C-alpha cells in the first residue's frame, strides 16, 4: 500500500526547501546573469554556495559524497519544491544532466573514478555532460544508430564522432561519452561509456545551439571528438555494456525531470490564479468568468494527476523495481500535462502572460522542450504499445 502521508522528516525537509526557494532563490531570478543559454557559471556558483550553506546540496547522493541519500519518494517531494523556481535545481545541484550522472556514477563507477569525478561533482565544484545524441544519421531516439566510435589502440581508445544537443557541455568539467567500441582485433563490442576531463586535446566545441529553453547552465551544444585519446581506465563499467548501464539512470532521470518541471508548472499556475483573482473585466474578477475558472480548474486536476503518477513510479523504484513502463507513462503524461498547465496559465493572463514581467512565459518555453527531452512522447508511446503486442 502506498502511504501518501509524508513522514515528519520528509515534511521538515520539504519545508526547509520551500523556505530556501522562496527566500533565497526566487529573488535571484531577476539577476542579469540568466542568459538565453541558461544561468552563467558565475550565477550557478553563487546559487550553489547558498544551497551549500543551507545544507541542501546534492541531497540525492549518499552521505559518503556529501548528500542525504534520499529515496525516490522523498525526491518527489523535494525536487518538486526545488522546481518552483527554474533556478532551484541549479542551486541545489539536482539539475539535469548532473543529477542523473551522479546517480549513475555512484552505481557504476570504480572507486578511483568516484573520487576523481563524482566527489567534486556532488560538491558543486563543477559540472558534467552526457554525450549520447548525434546529428542525423547518428543516434537520436534510436540508440542503435550510434555512429561515434572508440577504437582500441594498445591501452588507449581513440574516440571520433559528432554529438549534438549535449546539455551543459560548454563549461563542463568532464563528459561521459557513449561510443560504439571496436577492439584491437576489429570486433564491434557494442556501446561503451567513457569518462574524460574536458581540458584534453581532441574535444572541439562546434557551437552552442540557440534553443527556446534557457534553464540549463552551459545551454546545449554541438561538438566533435577528433582523435580523442582516453586510457583503458576511462571506461565506465565494462566494455560493451553502455546501453545496459544507461538503463540505470533512464527511469529515475525521466522521473526527476517530471518532479522538477511539476514544480515549475505549479509556479505558473499559482501566478495565474493570483492574477485572475485581482484582475477585473466585464464587472467581475477574471477567475469568476467560467472561461477562465474552468481552465484553472483543469490545471488543478492535471497537477494532481501528474503528482500521483510521479509518486506511484517513485514508490515502485523504492521497492527495487525497474519501473520502465511506469516511468515512460509518467514521462508522457507529465510532459504533456505540464505543458498544458503552463499554456493555460499564459492564456488566462492575456498580454501579461506573454511578457517576461512574470516567470510564466519563461516556464512555458522551458516546459515545451520537456516533450522532446529524455525521449519524445511518441517514442515512449511506441515503447508502451510494443509491450502490449507481446
My answer on whether 304 and 328 are in the same domain is yes
pTM exceeding the 0.85 threshold for the entire prediction: yes
My answer on whether 291 and 319 are in the same domain is yes
pLDDT of res. 139: 95
Q: How many domains does the chain contain in total?
A: 3
pLDDT (tens digit, 9 = 90+) per residue, 120-136? 999 999 999 999 999 99
- Helix (H/G/I), strand (E/B), else coil: 154: coil
Say if residues 335 and 184 touch (Cβ distance below 8 Å).
no
My answer on whether 143 and 206 are in the same domain is yes
My answer on whether 114 and 209 are in the same domain is no
Whose grid coordinates read 466585464?
282
Residue 1 lies in a domain: no
Assign 3-state DSSP to the chain and report helix, strand, coil percentages, each to 5. Answer: 55, 15, 30
- Helix (H/G/I), strand (E/B), else coil: 124: coil
Domain of 148, CATH number, reads: 2.40.110.10
My answer on whether 383 and 365 are in the same domain is yes
CA distances (Å), 242 to each of 148, 177, 386, in order? Answer: 13, 10, 23
pLDDT of res. 125: 95
Domain ends where: 122, 139, 155?
122
Distance from C-alpha of 366 to C-alpha of 345, rounded to nearest angstrom = 14
Q: What is the mean pLDDT of the chain?
A: 96
pLDDT above 70 covers a percentage of the chain that reads 100
Cis peptide before 137 (omega within 30 of 0): yes
pLDDT of res. 251: 80
Best CA proximity match to 110, nearest among 118, 100, 99: 118
Q: Which domain holds residue 142?
A: 128-240
Task: State CA 211 to chain mean position distance.
Answer: 16
Domain ends where: 61, 92, 122?
122
| pLDDT bracket for residue 141 (50, 70, 90) | confident
203's torsion region: left (phi>0), alpha (psi -120 to 50) or beta? beta
pLDDT of res. 250: 77
Pure H helices in the chain: 8-20, 41-54, 72-82, 88-91, 98-108, 111-113, 119-122, 242-278, 290-318, 324-349, 351-354, 360-369, 377-388
pLDDT (tens digit, 9 = 90+) per residue, 151-194? 999 999 999 999 999 999 999 999 999 999 999 999 999 999 99
pLDDT of res. 246: 86
pLDDT (tens digit, 9 = 90+) per residue, 205-233? 999 999 999 999 999 999 999 999 999 99
Dihedral angle at the C-alpha atoms of 7, 8, 14, 20, nearest 10 degrees? -170
Distance from C-alpha of 66 to C-alpha of 85, rounded to nearest angstrom = 23
pLDDT of res. 1: 78
Whose grid coordinates read 541545489?
92
Beta bridge partners of 193: 178, 236
| pLDDT bracket for residue 318 (50, 70, 90) | very high
Average pLDDT of the segment spanning 27-33: 98
Distance from C-alpha of 358 to C-alpha of 386, rounded to nearest angstrom = 42
Amino acid at each position: 500500500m502506498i502511504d501518501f502521508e509524508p513522514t515528519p522528516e520528509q515534511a521538515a525537509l520539504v519545508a526547509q526547501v520551500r523556505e530556501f526557494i522562496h527566500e533565497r532563490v526566487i529573488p535571484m531570478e531577476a539577476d542579469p546573469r540568466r542568459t538565453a543559454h541558461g544561468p552563467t557559471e558565475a550565477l550557478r556558483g553563487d546559487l550553489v554556495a547558498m544551497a551549500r550553506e543551507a545544507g541542501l546540496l546534492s541531497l540525492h547522493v549518499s552521505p559518503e559524497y556529501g548528500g542525504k541519500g534520499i529515496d525516490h519518494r522523498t525526491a518527489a517531494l523535494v525536487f518538486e519544491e526545488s522546481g518552483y523556481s527554474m533556478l532551484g535545481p541549479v542551486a541545489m545541484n539536482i539539475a539535469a544532466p548532473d543529477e542523473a550522472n551522479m546517480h549513475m556514477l555512484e552505481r557504476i563507477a570504480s572507486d578511483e573514478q568516484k573520487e576523481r569525478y563524482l566527489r567534486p561533482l556532488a560538491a558543486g565544484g563543477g559540472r558534467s555532460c552526457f554525450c549520447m545524441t548525434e546529428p542525423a544519421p547518428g543516434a537520436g531516439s534510436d540508440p542503435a544508430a550510434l555512429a561515434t566510435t572508440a577504437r582500441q589502440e594498445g591501452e588507449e581508445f581513440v574516440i571520433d564522432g559528432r554529438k549534438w544537443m549535449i546539455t551543459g557541455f560548454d563549461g563542463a568539467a568532464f563528459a561521459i561519452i557513449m561510443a560504439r567500441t571496436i577492439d584491437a582485433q576489429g570486433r564491434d563490442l557494442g556501446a561503451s561509456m567513457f569518462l574524460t576531463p574536458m581540458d584534453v586535446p581532441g574535444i572541439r566545441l562546434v557551437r552552442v545551439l540557440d534553443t527556446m529553453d534557457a534553464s540549463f547552465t552551459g545551454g546545449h551544444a554541438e561538438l566533435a571528438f577528433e582523435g580523442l585519446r582516453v586510457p583503458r581506465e576511462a571506461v565506465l563499467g565494462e566494455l560493451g555494456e553502455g546501453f545496459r548501464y544507461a538503463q540505470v539512470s533512464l527511469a529515475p532521470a525521466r522521473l526527476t525531470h517530471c518532479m522538477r518541471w511539476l514544480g515549475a508548472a505549479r509556479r505558473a499556475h499559482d501566478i495565474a490564479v493570483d492574477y485572475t483573482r485581482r484582475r477585473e473585466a466585464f464587472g467581475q474578477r477574471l477567475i469568476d468568468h467560467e472561461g477562465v475558472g474552468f481552465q484553472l480548474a483543469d490545471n488543478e486536476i492535471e497537477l494532481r494527476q501528474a503528482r500521483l503518477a510521479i509518486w506511484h513510479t517513485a514508490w515502485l523504484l523504492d521497492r527495487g523495481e525497474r519501473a520502465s513502463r511506469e516511468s515512460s507513462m509518467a514521462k508522457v503524461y507529465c510532459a504533456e500535462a505540464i505543458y498544458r498547465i503552463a499554456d493555460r496559465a499564459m492564456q488566462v493572463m492575456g498580454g501579461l502572460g506573454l511578457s517576461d514581467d512574470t516567470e510564466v512565459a519563461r516556464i512555458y518555453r522551458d516546459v515545451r522542450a520537456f516533450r522532446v527531452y529524455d525521449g519524445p512522447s511518441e517514442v515512449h508511446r511506441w515503447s508502451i504499445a510494443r509491450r502490449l503486442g507481446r
